[in-house]
Amino acid sequence: MDYSSIIAKHIASIPRSGIRDFFELVQGRDDVISLGVGEPDFATPWHIREAAIYSLEKGQTSYTSNLGLLSLRKSIAKYVSQFFHVDYVAEKEVLVTVGVSEAIDLALRALLNPGDEVIYHEPCYVSYSPSIVMAYGKPVTVVTKKEDGFSLKPEAVAAAITPRTRMVMLNFPTNPTGACATREDLEGIAKLCIEHNLIVMTDEIYSELRYDGEEHLSIAALPGMRERTILLHGFSKAFAMTGFRLGYACAPQPIIEAMMKIHQYAMLCAPIMSQNAAIEALENGTPSMEKMRDSYHQRRDYVVKRLNDMGIECHTPGGAFYVFPDISKFGLTSKEFAMKLLEQESVAAVPGNAFGECGEGFLRCCYATGFDDLKLAMDKIENFISKL
């Protein structure tokens, strides 16, 4: 059977993920020090795991409301109000999803008509462009540059706006660069969105992981933006809960209602044990989160210094747990560099172009790895480049 003819054209058009290629190379090797992951190295704090176990012991194993447990939505509304300084009504403006990934898919499918353009910034998380395509939208890339610390400049957004633009997608701190947005840049972007009547979808998944004492600012908190912003957040990074698969969307009720239509038929609801764990995370998890954040902060300082000292130019990211060093001067492509590093030194890091073409010449290294391994990885990278 000719399967190529039976796969939907817009799905067939999506290229294979660069991360997947690399993953297959690493798979099955147990001698690898991996800087290639996109998740915390901590297990979920025990008090959060214990809350999930307790809920199972009590027999809480049913479906929940499509929107999610009301008690969780109330906790979310309270947390979002305190952390992002934006108020949402728990009963109708909060939707609990299976990770932010599902929420992105829901928002795009709920708002895009075929051919609508969505502006997003690269290098970025691998799902953005494919998710837009899967929702029949047209991805419009804005390149962020090393010289700007990979921040998104309003002028660059303005240049990408056309009459078909419907939405702008933001992710600060950014995976893979760790870039953060300044108030000034966000205000510039907000002004454009209001002028051109655009919706903003902001993926805030790394927002707790800000360093150097900087307070996080979401575009949703700027004047006039709440009504046109879909704020997406989750538990994976801040509370080390990746496997719980839990996220949420906060937005004005008509948008949540539209997203909920898809969610109720495609997913029904997020798993109840994860929802119960999430309540514990929001109500009592801040001290555990701060402890993990401080640990990432220390490791960031160590890795940035080591890379720069050995002659690999690496900007200091303000958030997340990635560094995105520039390896272009070694005369290898990102992929060649990563493959050789894996072959010769058994250190895995992801080629920068897996996060968009403009990531070529860079490498994503995740420093959410035990300090001893991190140190060994840095020694090995230093050894590797000394032979190039």
Partner 1 sequence: MSTDPLLELLRSKARHTHQELAEMLALSEAEVRARIAAWENDGTILGYHAVVNAELAGDVDVQAFIEVKVTPERGGGFDRLAMRIARFDQVVSCYLASGGYDLMVVVQGADLREVARFVSERLSTLDGVLSTATHFLLKTYKENGFLFEGETGVQRLAVSP
Find the shortest distance in angstroms from Cβ 120 to partner 1: 15
The reply on whether position 139 binds partner 1 by CB under 8 A is: no
The reply on whether position 34 binds partner 1 by CB under 8 A is: yes
The reply on whether position 32 binds partner 1 by CB under 8 A is: yes
Which positions from 171 through 210 interact with partner 1, judged by CB under 8 A? 175
Segment (H or E) for 141: strand 138-143
Nearest residue (CB) to partner 1, 32 versus 134 = 32
Name which position in 11, 12, 14, 43 contacts partner 1 (CB under 8 A): 43
Site track 296-325 with partner 1 (rule: CB under 8 A), x = hit = --xx-xx--xx-------------------
The reply on whether position 126 binds partner 1 by CB under 8 A is: yes
Cβ count near 89 (within 10 Å): 13
The reply on whether position 120 binds partner 1 by CB under 8 A is: no
**Rounded Cα distance, 243 and 304, in Å:** 29
Q: Which of 92, 14, 86 is nearest to 254 (CA)?
A: 92
Indicate the DSSP class of residue 202: E
**Rounded Cα distance, 8 and 235, in Å:** 33
The reply on whether position 38 binds partner 1 by CB under 8 A is: yes
Nearest residue (CB) to partner 1, 38 versus 137 = 38
Which whole-number Å values give the CA distances from 238 to 21, 45, 72, 98, in the listed order?
28, 11, 17, 16
Tell me which stretch binds partner 1 (CB under 8 A): 15-23, 67-75, 80-88, 129-137.
15-23
Find the shortest distance in angstroms from Cβ 301 to partner 1: 5
Find the shortest distance in angstroms from Cβ 39 to partner 1: 6
Residue with tokens 């947005």: 181
Nearest residue (CB) to partner 1, 74 versus 375 = 375
Cα dihedral 120, 80, 227, 90 in deg (nearest 10): 130
Q: What is the DSSP string of 256-325?
A: HHHHHHHHHHHTSS--HHHHHHHHHHHHH-HHHHHHHHHHHHHHHHHHHHHHHHTT-B----SBTTEE--
Structural contact between residues 260 and 269, judged by C-beta atoms closer than 8 angstroms: no
The reply on whether position 371 binds partner 1 by CB under 8 A is: yes
Structural contact between residues 305 and 378, judged by C-beta atoms closer than 8 angstroms: no
The reply on whether position 19 binds partner 1 by CB under 8 A is: yes
Name which position in 10, 23, 87, 159 contacts partner 1 (CB under 8 A): 23
Name which position in 5, 27, 62, 197 contacts partner 1 (CB under 8 A): 27
End-to-end Cα, the chain, rounded Å? 48
Nearest residue (CB) to partner 1, 43 versus 268 = 43
User: How many residues make contact with partner 1 (CB under 8 A)?
Assistant: 33
Name which position in 125, 172, 322, 324 contacts partner 1 (CB under 8 A): 125
The reply on whether position 39 binds partner 1 by CB under 8 A is: yes
**Rounded Cα distance, 209 and 320, in Å:** 5
Q: Which of 184, 174, 112, 114 is nearest to 145 (CA)?
A: 174
Site track 323-362 with partner 1 (rule: CB under 8 A), x = hit = -------------------------x-x---x--------
Structural contact between residues 35 and 285, judged by C-beta atoms closer than 8 angstroms: no
Name which position in 10, 29, 145, 183 contacts partner 1 (CB under 8 A): 29
The reply on whether position 56 binds partner 1 by CB under 8 A is: no
Find the shortest distance in angstroms from Cβ 199 to partner 1: 24
Residue with tokens 């979002």: 80
Find the shortest distance in angstroms from Cβ 354 to partner 1: 8
Count, residues in the chain: 388
**Rounded Cα distance, 179 and 95, in Å:** 27
Enumerate binding residues for partner 1 (CB under 8 A): 17, 19, 22-23, 26-27, 29, 32, 34, 36-43, 125-127, 175, 294, 298-299, 301-302, 305-306, 348, 350, 354, 371, 375
